[in-house]
Structure 1
Amino acid sequence: MADTTGNPTHSEASSGTDRTTSPRKSSWRHIGPGIVVAATGVGAGDLVATLIAGSNFGYTLLWAAVAGCLVKISLAEAAGRWHLATGRTLFDGWASLGRWTTWFFVVYVVVWGFVYGAAAMSSSALPLQALFPGVMDLRWWAVACGLVGLVFVWFNKYAVFEKVMTVLVGVMFAVTVYLAVRVTPNLPDALAGLLPVLPDEKDSVLNTLGLIGGVGGTITLAAYGYWVNAKGWTDTGWMKVMRLDNRVAYATTGVFVIAMLFVGAELLHSANVAIASGDKGLIQLGDILEEEYGSATATFFLIGFFATSFTSLIGVWHGVSLMFADFVARYRRGDSATGAEVASGERERSWPFRLYLLWLTFPPIVLLFQGQPFRLIILYGVLGAAFLPFLAVTLIWLLNSPRTPREWRNGPLSNVMLAAAGLLFLVLCVKQVWDQPWADFF
C-alpha cells in the first residue's frame, strides 16, 4: 500500500541535493507551462469581471488586479516547487495528509467537472454564434466546441497542446492590447489606480477581494505542476526555469486583465454604460465596439473572445484529466508513482485520462439541452469556492514539513504570500457559501 505517512518513498526525495542535477539557466526559450496556465486560467468570466470593475470604478481597482496576479504567482510557484523538489505529484502530497483530501478531490472533480464542462462549451460557443449568425443554434455550437476539444486533447501529446495554446495566447494578447490602445487610456489616472485605495461604495471590500481572487484560475493552478512535469522538467535543476516561466505566466495574465480594465474604465465607465455579468457581457461589449469603432474591431474582439474561452476549455480538458489520471493510478496500483516518472506521456495515453475527458464532454451536453439542475449548481459554487483555500492550506502544510527537502521548503515570503492567499480565499469561500439559497436547496 502507498506510504501515506508523509515521508518520501523515493530515495531522491530524502535530501535536498540527491535529486539536483546541473542547474539550467532560466532562459526564455524554455517557457511553456506558464503560457498554458495563463491561457487556461484567464477565461471569459475573468475578463468580464475585470471589465465590470473598470466600468463601475474606473481605474480605482487597478492595484487589485495586479495583486491578484501576485497571489496566484505564489500558489502556482508553490505547486511547481513541490513537484520539482520532491519528485512526487501534488495529489500524492495531498494523500499524505489524510483521506479527507482524497474525498474532497473526488467530489470536487466529479461535480465541478460536470457543470464546468457545460459552462466551458457554452462560453466557447457564444462568440462563434456572434461571428456566424444563423448558422447553428447556440447549443449545437457548444456541442461542437466540446467535441473538438475532446478530439484535440485525446489525439495530441503535451508538446502539440502547448504549441496550440501558445498560438491562441498570442491571439488573446494581440486583441486585448489592441483594445486597450484603441480606447486611449488615461495613463495618469491608470498610474494613480496602482495606489491601494477602496472605492467609496457599499461592499467595496468584498468586491475588491473578489477581483483579487478572481484573477487567473482555480484548479489550473494545481495542474501547473503536472504541466511542468509533462514539459520534461522533473528535478530541481529546472527550479529557476520554472520560476521564470511562472512569472511570465502571470505577467501575461496581468496584461490581459489590466487591458480589459482599461477598456471598462474608458469605454464603459466614462459613458456610464452597464453590461451583464457572465459571458454574455462580452457579447454586449462586441456590440458597443461595433458602434464605436466599426465591424472590423468588433470581429477582431470576438475572435479574441473565442481564443480566451477555447483555451480555458482545452486547458481544463488536458490539465484536470492529468490530475484525475494521477489520482486513479495511485490508488489502483497502490504506490506513489511520481510525476517525474509518468506525467511526460503515459498519463495522456491512460484510460483514466481519457475517461475524465469523456466525463467533461458528454454528460454536460445533457445540461446544455435540459438546463442546469439547481442543487448541482449550488454544490458547484460551494466546491469551487472551497478549492483555493484547500490548495493554499495544503501547500503551506506540505512545503513546511519533512515531506519537502529542507533546501526547498517555504521561506518567510512564501509563507506570508500563501497565508494571505489562504485567508483571502477563505473569506471569499465563506461569502460564497453564505450567499447560496440554502432554504430552497432542501
Structure 2
Amino acid sequence: MIKNLFKNIGPGTLVAAAFIGPGTVTLCTLAGVNFGFNLLWAMVLSIVATIVLQEMAARLGIISQKGLSEVIKSEIKNPVINKIMLLLILSAIVVGNASYEAGNISGGILGLETLIGTSHIEVGSFSINVMSWVIGIIAFVLLYIGNYKFLERALITLVLLMSVSFIITAIVTKPNILEIIKGAFVPKSPEGSLLTIIGLIGTTVVPYNLFLHASLVKEKWSKKEDLKAVRKDTIVSIILGGLVSMAIIISAASITSGEVNNAADLAKSLAPLYGDFAKYFLGIGLFAAGITSAITAPLAAAYVAKGCFGWKDGLKSGKFRFVWAIILLLGVAFSSFGFKPIEIIKFAQVANGILLPVIAGVLLWVVNKRGVLGDFVNSKIQNAFGVVILITTIFLGIRGLDKVFGFGFF
C-alpha cells in the first residue's frame, strides 16, 4: 500500500510543499486569529486557481517534455521581448528565491525551537543560530544526492508529516463544523481583511511553482498517456495543501486572547488550552513546512536557470548544483545571523509582482498553441477559468507593487 502511494503521487506534492512555507503558515495563522473562519473561502478560491494554473504547467511539461522557461524561450520570437522576459524570470525566481530562502529556513527554526529550545553560538559580537545550519545541512544532503525519486519520497514524507500535524492540531481545537462550511463557501470580507485575503491568494498562487511543476513532471513521466496520472497527482496534492492551510486558519481561530504573530506564538497559546501535545504537533508542522520550502525554492531556481541558459544536464550537473547551493548558502547565512536583506527582498517582491500576471498570461497563450500541445490545448472552460485567474493575478501584481512603493491604491 505504501509503495503504491509513493508510486502514484509525486511532483504535485512538491508543489504543495513549496507553497506551504513559513510565510503561508504565518499568514494563515493571522487570518484565523483576526478573522476566525470568515476567510476560509479565500483559501478555497486559491486552491481552485492553483489547480487550474498548475494543471496547465504540468500538461505543458508532460506533452512538450520541456520546462516552462524553455518553452517561453523558444516560443517568443521577438528577440528583445524574449531577452526581457528571460531577465524578468531569472530576476524574480533566482534572486527572489535567494532572498526568501532565509525566511524558509527561519520558519523551520521556529518549529525546531518550539520542540527543543534555542541554540546559539557567540562569535565576537555576532550570535549565530545553530539551527540554521542544521536545516541547511539537511536540505543540502537531500538536494546533493541528486536522485529525483529519493528527493520526491523525502519531500512526500515531510508533506505528509506536516499535513497530519496541522490537521490533528485543528481537530484538537474542536471547531464548529457548520461554521467552517459557512466560512469556506460563503464569501465575507470583514473590515480590515482585504490585505489578508489578497495575501492568502498570493502565497498560494506562486509563480515559481509553475516553473517547478513543468520541470518536475518530466522527471517522473514521459508519455502523453501519463496525463491522467499527472492531473490526479496535481488535484489531490494541491487540495491536500489547501486543507493544511485551512487547518492552520481553523487552529488559530480558537485563540481569543494574547498576542499571536506567527505559528510559534500560536503553538505557545494552544498549549495551555489543549495541552503540550498541541504545541508539539504545531512545532513539527512548522519545521516540516520550513524545510520543504527550503528545499523546493533552490530547486525551482536551478530549474529556471537551466531552462533560461539552455543547460542540458540534469540534477547532478555542476551548474545545476551551483545555483541551488548558492541560494541555500545565502539563506542559511542570512538566517543564522538574523540578517534581512530588505532591498533584495523589495526587488524580489517587485519582480514577482510583475512576473505572476505576465507568466499567467504567457502560460495561457502557450497552452492554446497547437504547435506546442497539439490536441492537448486548453478547452473553452479551461480558458474561461484561466482568464478569470489572469485578471486576479493582475490585481495581485498591482497590490504587490503598491506594497513596495506605497502608491496608496489599497
TM-score, length basis structure 2: 0.88
Which amino acid in structure 1 is aligned with residue 219 of structure 2? A
Partner of 1:86: 64
Going from structure 1 to structure 2, the CA distance change for 1:366 and 1:47 (only over 3 Å counts) comes to closer
Partner of 2:250: 262
Greater C-alpha Rg: 1
Partner of 2:372: 404
Partner of 2:124: none
Partner-residue secondary structure (3-state), 1:349: coil
Task: Check conservation: 2:97, 2:298, Cα contact below 8 A.
Answer: no
The 5-angstrom pairing of residues 142-291 of structure 1 reads 142-202=132-192, 204-215=193-204, 217-231=206-220, 233-265=221-253, 267-268=254-255, 271-276=256-261, 281-291=262-272
Going from structure 1 to structure 2, the CA distance change for 1:41 and 1:28 (only over 3 Å counts) comes to same
Q: Which runs of 4+ in 1 moved over 4 A?
A: 26-29
1:54-103 residue CA offsets vs partner (Å, 9 max, x unmatched): 22222222221111000000111000111122233211211122222211
Going from structure 1 to structure 2, the CA distance change for 1:254 and 1:110 (only over 3 Å counts) comes to closer
The 5-angstrom pairing of residues 332-411 of structure 1 reads 346-368=313-335, 369=337, 371-411=339-379
Aligned equivalents of 2:316 and 2:39: distance in 1? 44
Partner-residue secondary structure (3-state), 1:193: helix
Partner of 1:37: 15
Aligned equivalents of 2:378 and 2:359: distance in 1? 15
Aligned equivalents of 1:49 and 1:135: distance in 2? 26
Q: CA deviation at 1:181?
A: 0.9
Task: Check conservation: 2:105, 2:135, Cα contact below 8 A.
Answer: yes
Partner of 1:311: 292
- 381-390 or 64-73, larger mean C-alpha shift: 381-390
Partner of 1:434: 402
Aligned equivalents of 1:364 and 1:177: distance in 2? 29
Going from structure 1 to structure 2, the CA distance change for 1:103 and 1:403 (only over 3 Å counts) comes to farther
Going from structure 1 to structure 2, the CA distance change for 1:85 and 1:123 (only over 3 Å counts) comes to same
Task: Check conservation: 2:46, 2:200, Cα contact below 8 A.
Answer: yes
Aligned equivalents of 1:357 and 1:131: distance in 2? 28
Which amino acid in structure 2 is aligned with residue 83 of structure 1? G
Partner of 2:79: none
Partner-residue secondary structure (3-state), 1:393: helix
1:93-123 residue CA offsets vs partner (Å, 9 max, x unmatched): 1112222221112222342133122222222
Partner of 2:112: 128
Task: Check conservation: 1:72, 1:221, Cα contact below 8 A.
Answer: no
Aligned equivalents of 2:331 and 2:163: distance in 1? 30
Aligned residues: 391
Partner of 1:8: none
Which amino acid in structure 2 is aligned with residue 229 of structure 1? K
The 5-angstrom pairing of residues 411-426 of structure 1 reads 411-426=379-394
Aligned equivalents of 1:210 and 1:139: distance in 2? 29
Which amino acid in structure 1 is aligned with residue 309 of structure 2? V
Is 1:52 the counterpart of 2:40? The answer is no
Give unpaired runs (5+ residues) of structure 1: 1-25, 331-341
Q: CA deviation at 1:136?
A: 3.0
Partner-residue secondary structure (3-state), 1:167: helix
Aligned equivalents of 1:256 and 1:421: distance in 2? 22
Aligned equivalents of 2:105 and 2:57: distance in 1? 28
Task: Check conservation: 2:12, 2:233, Cα contact below 8 A.
Answer: yes
Going from structure 1 to structure 2, the CA distance change for 1:284 and 1:205 (only over 3 Å counts) comes to closer
Percent identical: 23
Going from structure 1 to structure 2, the CA distance change for 1:256 and 1:311 (only over 3 Å counts) comes to same
Partner-residue secondary structure (3-state), 1:212: helix
